[in-house]
Amino acid sequence: ATAVSVHTADGAHVGSLKLVSGAWKFKAMGYDAAGRMEPGHGPLTEQHNIAFAAPDAAEVSARLLGALLGPP
């Protein structure tokens, strides 16, 4: 696959990882009040375009979804 959806633990769609020029990049996704997709928006906007070597669930969770929780 060249794209993998990224969801929070409760199932909310927050973006996807896309294979771009040999690197997996996170593409943030948000939704407006009417439920329309807003590329580059959402709760992980600040992490938009972060690169990963592979779509590894543990690394993605640590780097992206950990940002939703903030510092411990």
What are the domain boundaries of the chain? 3-69
**Residues 67, 60: contact at Cβ < 8 Å?**
no
Residues 9-29 pLDDT 10s: 899 999 999 999 999 999 999
Nearest-angstrom CA–CA distance, 23 and 19: 5
Residue 46 has pLDDT above 90, yes or no: yes
Q: Phi then psi for 57, rounded to 5 degrees? A: -55, -40
pLDDT of res. 13:
94
Nearest-angstrom CA–CA distance, 27 and 46: 10
pLDDT of res. 12:
92
Question: Residue 71: pLDDT band by 50, 70, 90 thresholds?
Answer: low
pTM: 0.84
